[in-house]
Amino acid sequence: MDPNLSVQENYANPKTCFFHVLFKSAALAFYILSALFISNFVIIFVVTALLAALDFWVVKNVSGRILVGLRWWNEINDLDESVWRFECLDQESLARMNKKDSWLFWWTLYLTAVAWTVLGIFSLIRFQADYLLVIGVCLTLSIANIVGFTRCRKDAKKQIQAFAQQTIASRVSSTIQSAFSVV
């Protein structure tokens, strides 16, 4: 068997992938398992919210930049308006991003929100309004990253299209100029 046929792409950033998944898993696992071992709601709320906040920060500022080449933030301008800011790598760097890293990033981003939603439904069914508060905090942080990175990805695609159009226009223009300069 030819070894080149079974070459499978590995994770380019395994440590970043590990921490990307770690905080998501830690928040979900602590929330789920705490019901078995801890009866103090305040501890459950604080630790789960802290783990979810760590996940939010790691995804927004570290793994998003390394795994998919995107970064976003929101700021308030001088007119007290909310303004979204996006950063992305250049087109060549984005084209070289590892597909496995990218796949892991996007799937875990969405699956975490789905998991918190399912846990929220269970809390509703069990009439646990206080636990809905914990889930609400975690789901809000998760959705904020989804919205931020989705908008950032759309902005990056627009930049790539604008760059391509500009490149084509300049090539056509230089071809026309060179054609007329020969004549």
With 0-12 CB in 10 A as exposed, 13-18 as middle and 19+ as buried, what is 7? exposed
Handedness of CA 28, 32, 33, 39 (dihedral sign): positive
**Cα radius of gyration (the chain):** 22
pLDDT digits (tens, 9 = 90+) for 35-84: 788 888 899 999 999 999 999 998 888 888 888 878 777 888 888 888 77
Q: Which amino acid is at 159?
A: Q
pLDDT along the chain (183 residues), means of 10: 51 81 93 87 92 92 83 83 76 71 88 94 88 93 88 65 54 58 56
Which residue in this structure is represented by tokens 């990307």? 20
What pTM, to 2 d.p., does this model score? 0.73
Q: What does residue 70 show for φ and ψ, rounded to 5 degrees?
A: -125, 150
